[in-house]
A and B are shown apart, each in its own frame.
Chain A
Amino acid sequence: MNFVVSSDDLLKHLQLIAGVVPSRHVLPIVENFLFEIGKNRLTLTATDLEITMKTTLEVETRGAEMRLAVPAKLVLEILRNLPAIPITITVDEDNFGIEITSENGKYKLNGENGAEFPQVPEADNTTSVKMPANILVKAIQKTLFAASTDEHKPAMNGMLFSFTNAGVTFVATDAHRLVRYRRVDITVKEAVNFVVPQKALNLLKNSLNGMEDILTIEYNENNAFFSVGNTLLLCRLISDKYPDYENVIPTNNPNKLIIPKKELASTLRRVNIFSNKTTHQVRFKIAGSDLEISTEDIDYANEARENLKCIFDGEDMEIGFNAAFLLEVVNNVETESLVMELSTPNRASIVLPEEQNEGENMLMLVMPVMLSSYSG
């Protein structure tokens, strides 16, 4: 059988799902794309057994329908190096040999029987929610950086989706900082929580970026299915229980600091150059309307100190932070100024935008370093 397709159209669709393909896997068949050739339709699938992505495009087919596994690396490479031209792909139904023919070229490679490609779970017993794709993209951009990469904290390796009738909430934390991004403009009748792995979200972010279409999220106990148009991502959910984050967000924070975001970020960047390269620890000394940010690296006798004007309502205090953690949080703020709500030097500091965007509610939290752990 054969089919005709434009090389750049095929490449574009394959690139959409190529991120899933593992470079080495115990099950070598998953290093292939699955081509399901139907009547004038080509469905492409990639999987690493945890995550599967699927997309469909229209092609001109001739001959019987079939399933074929195509070596991912090889096919991507040839398509990337072809100009945008129509190509014909001919498959030998007996031995799965593949021949790609262009106007003045011919490329042969070996495929495999598509029947050996792992089965993709079906979406059964699912509940669904719809939202514009760009809202999920923003939620991922704003939240995922705070997720943990520590394999001993499996739940924190993912991002929590928490749906209620008050809104949808996305949470990521590594126990040192936390982001809670809430959309109050989307509500769900049946409350549910599930945790989606980081890799799946990064793939979603890349493939949905710039899309304004409506995204459907379907979920059951084990899997989540994200679909836009004819592209689908499904992933196994993280089964470990997500930590009870709401209870650790301090509510009584009598000290409130308001400071221009850009200045704080550039000061932190400069001071951080002189901090210890492993720990990035800096000291905030707040006295009246003066914020002094300083650091020292005893090993190299490096030191830095800067003073910033701020609006501060509360008791003078000293508190330590990991500047790298804090910078990521500060950079995440979209307003001109940000608000830091502090209680004591050993409790979480809350970072908020000066004003919330419409439909959004964003809260971030950074845990301090104990500057005086020794002398107490």
Chain B
Amino acid sequence: MPGDIQTKRHILHLDLDAFFVSVERLLHPELNGLPVIIGGESLSNRGVVSACSYEARKYGVHSAMPIAMARKLCPEGTFVRGTYDAYGKYSGIVTEIVSERSPLFEKASVDEFYVDLTGMDRFYGTLKWSEELKKCIVKETGLPVSFGLSINKTVSKIATDYCKPNGQIRVPGEEVLPFLGALTVDKIPGVGKQTQKELNELGIQQVRQLQQIPPDLLTRAFGKWGHTLWQKAQGIDDAPVVAYREEKSISREQTLQEDTTDPAFLNVLLTRMADELAYELRSTGRLSAHISIKIRYSDFETHTKGQQVNPTANEQEMSVVARKLLKAVFTRRVRVRLIGLKLSNLCPGYIQTDLFQDTGPGLELRAATDRIRNRYGKHVIGWAAGFIPED
């Protein structure tokens, strides 16, 4: 019986409190206690808030709000430009700690983890285990973290949010309904301003009221989402914890508007894909050590071919390889309907310069185009060899 299974699961949800702010405070202790607001690359008024401290939240500041509005709401706030490299690094450290100890875990975002502890309760208290994990993270990173421990991902996440910051809570199966019932509906993940307003109009403020409504009624009012909403209110969620996997490749594919046999045109597309993918690698501080291409002929026969390369994030090196691979793989005299480029074997690192190619302005040019892309978007500039006039 499904109902049987779900009360027997033990799912831990871990969430680093105000993660970006906490990292900034580790690096700059003088920020402790201040309302801190973190923006993007530029702190100009056109940017948006990417995170803020609990102190700043009291002023009504929240993430995704324009910087200009945050300045109005919280004029005495400390505005900081985000150091995203550092966030990635600390997230990695926490991931490492979680992965070392957990039987099965999912990295839901940069600062959020689910751990499936089902079965461990037989040998070891799941609450005690979770407390120790929390202590270990605090001790090894200095970052505050909260957790909720319950029967599934939804309830655990709601529980974590409930006890934040620096809190912990366990909601055993039999307490799930009363625990959720006491909350307001906006505490359910997925219930935003709009849904809340509509529910309020129906006279529903508390989750308890939601729990008592027949599911059909909610489905009639909200469609499919209504059913999900009802399930969440009941604390029903069968979603499994999906093991964390680092992204090991990035790729682009394009189905052509018109099938072609023109290798020059395909080369242009590959050049452009290489340009975009290499920028994506550089902007996340990664390199790729394997390049492969894929073509699909108009009769849907598909061919791929790849090659190991020295780890690189240099689009010119990549397009040379991609063009060579295309030449090797495009052998039939049949029109091509799709072409793709994939970079795999990704690893962290920076571009190794080349004695014969990177002398002169090449490196500065790449740095400059990256800055332009950072500011105005990735499509605004690229190599002419990847330019298509119809664009």
**Chain A interface (Cβ < 8 Å from any Cβ of B):** 150, 173, 175-176, 178, 243, 245, 248, 276, 278-279, 281, 296-301, 320, 322, 346-348, 365, 367-376
Q: Which of A245, A278, A372 contacts B349 (CB 8 A)?
A: A278
From A281, A296, A374, A376, residue with most partner B Cβ within 10 Å: A374
**Chain B interface (Cβ < 8 Å from any Cβ of A):** 88-89, 92-93, 95-96, 246, 282-283, 285, 287, 289, 310-311, 313, 345, 347-359, 363-364, 366-368, 370-371
Chain A residues with CB under 8 A of B287: 278-279
A373 pairs with B366, CB closer than 8 A? yes
Closest 10 pairs (CB-CB, A-B) = A376-B367, A279-B349, A278-B347, A301-B93, A301-B96, A367-B353, A370-B351, A298-B348, A369-B350, A175-B354
A351 → B minimal CB distance (Å): 14
Given A298-B89, A301-B93, A374-B282; A281-B350 close (CB under 8 Å): yes
A279 pairs with B347, CB closer than 8 A? yes
B353 pairs with A346, CB closer than 8 A? yes
Q: How far is the CA of A279 from the CA of B95 in the complex (A)?
A: 22
A46 → B minimal CB distance (Å): 32
Q: Which of A245, A279, A374, A375 contacts B311 (CB 8 A)?
A: A279
Chain B residues with CB under 8 A of A243: 356
Q: How far is the CA of A367 from the CA of B285 in the complex (A)?
A: 19
A369 pairs with B349, CB closer than 8 A? yes
Known contacts A175-B356, A367-B355, A374-B370; can you find 7 more A-B pairs with CB under 8 A?
A175-B357, A276-B347, A279-B350, A301-B92, A372-B367, A373-B366, A376-B367
Chain A residues with CB under 8 A of B283: 374
A365 pairs with B355, CB closer than 8 A? yes
A369 pairs with B347, CB closer than 8 A? no
Q: Which of B313, B355, B367, B368 contacts A175 (CB 8 A)?
A: B355
Chain B residue nearest to A178 (CB atoms) is B355
A299 pairs with B355, CB closer than 8 A? no
Looking at chain B's contact residues, the main secondary structure is: mixed
B351 pairs with A173, CB closer than 8 A? no
Chain B residues with CB under 8 A of A173: 355
A74 → B minimal CB distance (Å): 36
Q: How far is the CA of A371 from the CA of B285 in the complex (A)?
A: 9
B287 → A minimal CB distance (Å): 6
Chain A residues with CB under 8 A of B356: 175, 243, 248
Chain B residues with CB under 8 A of A296: 89
Q: Which of B89, B313, B357 contacts A373 (CB 8 A)?
A: B313
From B96, B287, B358, B370, residue with most partner A Cβ within 10 Å: B358
- For this complex, 26 residue pairs linking A to B, each with C-beta atoms less than 8 Å apart, are A175-B356, A178-B355, A248-B355, A276-B348, A276-B349, A278-B287, A278-B311, A278-B345, A278-B347, A279-B348, A279-B349, A279-B350, A298-B88, A298-B92, A299-B246, A320-B350, A322-B352, A346-B353, A367-B352, A367-B355, A369-B350, A369-B353, A370-B351, A373-B313, A373-B350, A374-B370
Chain A residues with CB under 8 A of B350: 279, 281, 320, 369-373
B285 pairs with A374, CB closer than 8 A? yes
From B348, B353, B358, residue with most partner A Cβ within 10 Å: B353
Chain A residues with CB under 8 A of B89: 296, 298, 301
Q: How far is the CA of A201 from the CA of B369 in the complex (A)?
A: 43
Given A278-B349, A346-B353; A373-B370 close (CB under 8 Å): yes
B352 pairs with A369, CB closer than 8 A? yes
B355 pairs with A176, CB closer than 8 A? yes
Q: How far is the CA of A368 from the CA of B351 in the complex (A)?
A: 9
Q: How far is the CA of A374 from the CA of B349 in the complex (A)?
A: 11
